[in-house]
Amino acid sequence: MSSDALIPFLQEPDSPEAPPPQPGSPALPPWRVLVVDDDRDVHDSTGYALRGLELVGRPVELLHAYSSAEGLMLLRHEHDVAVILLDVVMETEHAGLAMVDNIRNGLGLHNTRIILRTGQPGQAPEIETIRRYDINDYKTKSELTRAKLYATLTAAVRCYDQLCRLDASRRGLEKIVAASNQFMAEQGLQTFAEGVITQIASLIGIQPEGLVCASTDPAPGAGEAVDYVVIAAAGPYRHLIQKRLGEITDPEIVQQLSHCLAERRSLVAQRNLTLFFSGRDGQDFAAFVAAGEPLREVDAHLLEVFCTNIALCASNVSLFMRLRNVAFVDRMLGIPNRTALVQHLDEQVAAGELHDLVLALIDVDQFAETNDMFGHRYGDLLLGAIAQRLTQALVSRCYIARVAGNTFAVVGLEGVVNPEELRTLFDQPFQVEEINRRLSVSMSLVRCAEVPALNGSELLKDASIAMKRAKAAGQGRIEYYSAALGADSKERTRLLHGLHRAFDHDRLFVVYQPQVSLVTGAVLGVEALMRWRAEDGSLVPPDRFIPVAERSGLIVGLGTWVLRTALSDLGRLHQLGWRPLRMAVNVSAVQFGQPDFLQTLDEALRDKQIAPDCLELEITESVSMVGMERVAALMREIRGRQVAVAIDDFGTGFSSLSYLDQLPADRLKIDRAFVELLETERPGARIARMIVPLGHQLGMKVLAEGVETERQVAILRDLGCDEAQGYLYARPMPFDVLCEWLARHPVGMAVEG
């Protein structure tokens, strides 16, 4: 466990200093504090933080244990240990909590205060665990600066000292501990405050009749008066709940509470008791409890212990509420988050209430572009406007959450949660900062009763699968989850895992297909193509595994491997005498979008000692998702290195010929689908015949892919096409077979047009 969390001890400028010793005062025994942590740096940092300090007028003696077992052995022999600073995770994940169990139940040390220290907030114990083991407090290590450690230990040793002093008052003490344990489990401030009234009444033997006032603002500005409101009330005072202190008509209550809060101390009157509780960050509160007859003399120490414990509990209740908000509420929008949604769905699954329920995901199309255009502040405000509209329209009938940056979830009956109803919520534009913006959204929906889901996570995963399908189809699309869609997703997952294994076990290899001049018939180059041989010896088609590799990001590593392998084999071909040959290597849009793509290219050319003008990179229209300006700039950088660029699969999806005009490419490759049309009169044949002159008009060579017949060759020659590749000439082949093939065919250079 890192000791970085304790570094603030060395830099805290406002840490408390030890009070000067009082002359003639008797020497008091030190408070004994046991540090149990498997990280020696934590021990050193704690010792440094407490060096020279006194707690409640007494010095501190540190005891050290580096495991839970060592700590328990020490506690069996050492006495009067006031506080234990205990790491949650040591030799095992639950070592700290197991030690707490032994301390309380095995050793019977009930007065010793235990402060759990955690490396991460997620390691904090559950509320039930805190209640069961009487844990005094818990802090993340990053919280425990020198000043806060001092304050935490001061409160803990005071509590320990008071508990020890009151051992003779066992019955009252047990009530205090019981109250503390109960309050630690409370999750709401009102419930907590009601418990305070009940416990005060029980402690001093009166009826639970009273009220609790708390500050309405935990951090008022300078010069502002603190206002208090009744947050809990019992008995004849119940009608005062939610009233401000100034609105209470009973002058005695107002006077007692006002004095108590102003003077920050508890007050005992003949027929009532007003206790002051110091809260965290200035959020103090006070409890007024009435009695039907004059109060008997109340043990001041007992009340002091009670107030100390309850004040700590109040802070923990507040902390629990904040932690719950962090865990379950979207901090920016104030609506449930992904974790809360999963919990809600889990509850529906457990209760068997999925019938007619639909889970819908709503994803804002082109949200990143909106951020780029108007700025992130505008994007945040837009998300807030969407959340507000969804909440206003649906919150009474549906559960609404934000599950990702620009993705919302809605759970409700199908009569409400369906594409038609949800679409209407986006018919009107959203006005943000005086800008009206109409939004396009993609949706995915899961009919929960039709899915054999075991929990909320599975349902959300199914919705996400459908959303991926919707987004892949374009903007504004809707997709319902189905068993077939789930099976397809599982197949892609299986392929991805298999692809990882294949890469690790050398079952991927590169084959090469020749590219031939239609003018001279000479071989001008070869295209490198990746292949995958499965464990059973069969070949997995590239159109199955390449998209999976692209979606997962694995294509970046695979693409670099293919590039370096192809350049290495090209060097061998040149050494064998086929120096004019060029090598064509495919580059995916994902690779093209990598910030270090040019560096990867330069390193491959340098390491393999290949002349840049012998390499050609083939890109498809999908690189447009990177952004046309960036693509064009990258292509200029690549051509500036003398590396050629080809546009692959032309004709299958470019949405605008202006894209083609913006891209500074050397070669245009006609997709096989258009080559097949050349021999027919089917729709698209005329377009196929226009591609060759179009490429020449843009200053590019034109290469036809998928050429399989002599008739196609004749038509391509008549059209003026420069080059071709396809089964008519050769299938893709391994390097050794390629060498044998090249030995039987002429190899030349391209003829300039």
- In sequence order, the β-bridge partners of residue 301 are none
Question: What average pLDDT does the structure give for the chain?
Answer: 82
Distance separating alpha carbons of residues 171 and 229, to the nearest angstrom: 33
Distance separating alpha carbons of residues 420 and 414, to the nearest angstrom: 11
Secondary structure letter of residue 331 according to DSSP = T
Amino acid at 282: G
Over 309-327, what HEC string results?
Answer: HHHHHHHHHHHHHHHHHHH
- The pLDDT, as a whole number, for residue 553 is 85
DSSP letter for each residue of 564-620: HHHHHHHHHHHHTT-TT-EEEEE--HHHHT-TTHHHHHHHHHHHHT--GGGEEEEE-
Question: Which of the 8 DSSP states describes residue 333?
Answer: T
Report how many helices (DSSP H) and strands (DSSP E) the chain contains, helices first: 25, 27
Query: Rounded to an integer, what is the distance from CA 60 to the centroid of its chain?
Result: 42
pLDDT greater than 80 at residue 726: yes
State which amino acid sits at residue 291.
A
The two three-digit tokens of residue 535, written as one number: 């464990």
Show Cβ contacts of residue 682 under 8 Å, excluding neighbours closer than 6 positions.
Answer: none
Residue 29, SS3?
A: coil
Q: Name the CATH superfamily for 495-742.
A: EAL domain (3.20.20.450)
CA distances (Å), origin 329, targets 184, 547, 593: 21, 36, 34
Write down the pLDDT at residue 658: 66
CA angle 355, 361, 363 (to 5 degrees): 170
CA distances from 719 to 121, 657, 671, 692, 723 (A): 70, 20, 16, 7, 12
Q: Tens of pLDDT along 136-171?
A: 787 777 776 788 888 889 989 988 887 776 653 444
540 phi-psi bin (left φ>0, alpha ψ -120 to 50, beta other): beta
Q: Once rounded to an integer, what is the mean pLDDT over residues 306-332?
A: 68
For residue range 387-414, list pLDDT tens digits in order: 999 999 998 899 999 999 899 999 999 9
528's enclosing H/E stretch is: strand 523-533
CA 146 – CA 155 distance, rounded (Å): 14
CATH 3.30.450.40 intervals, the chain: 169-328
Contact 670, 650 (CB under 8 A): yes
Taking only the tens place, the pLDDT of each residue in 36-57 is 999 898 898 899 888 888 888 8
Give CATH for domain 1-165: 3.40.50.2300
Q: Quick check: helix, strand or coil at residue 428?
A: coil
Report which residue type is found at 132. Answer: R
The yes-or-no verdict on residue 216 having pLDDT over 80 is no
Identify the residue whose tokens are 């508890």.
Answer: 266
According to DSSP, the β-strands at 285-290 and 701-704 are unpaired
Rg (CA), the chain: 37
The pLDDT confidence band at residue 13, using thresholds 50, 70 and 90, is very low
Q: Is the pLDDT of residue 123 over 60?
A: no
What tokens were used for 487? 């099976």
For 384-534, list the strands marked E by DSSP. 399-404, 407-413, 430-432, 435-437, 441-447, 478-480, 508-517, 523-533
Q: What is the mean pLDDT of residues 529-552?
A: 87
Longest Cα pair distance anywhere in the chain, in angstroms?
117
User: Within the chain, which residue ranges are assigned CATH 3.40.50.2300?
Assistant: 1-165
Token pair belonging to 620? 């498809």
Task: Note the pTM of the prediction, 2 decimals.
Answer: 0.50
What are the tokens at 13? 């400028």
What pLDDT, on the 0 to 100 scale, is given for residue 749? 66
The tokens describing 453, both together, are 């889901």
Closest alpha carbon to 288 in 275, 303, 305:
275
Pick 169-328's CATH classification: 3.40.50.300, 3.40.50.150, 3.30.450.40, 1.20.1260.10. Answer: 3.30.450.40
As beta bridge partners, residue 359 has: 411, 446
What do you get for the CA distance between the two ends of the chain, in Å? 69
pLDDT at 7: 33
Question: What kind of fold does domain 338-481 have according to CATH?
Answer: Alpha-Beta Plaits (3.30.70)
- State the average pLDDT over residues 329-338: 90
Instruction: State whether residue 379 is helix, strand or coil.
Output: helix
Domain(s) labelled CATH 3.20.20.450 in the chain stretch across 495-742
Q: Which amino acid is at 322?
A: R
Q: What is the pLDDT of residue 370?
A: 85
- The answer on pLDDT for 546 being more than 50 is yes
Count the neighbouring beta carbons within 10 Å of the beta carbon of residue 167: 10
Helix (H, G, I), strand (E, B) or coil at 238: helix
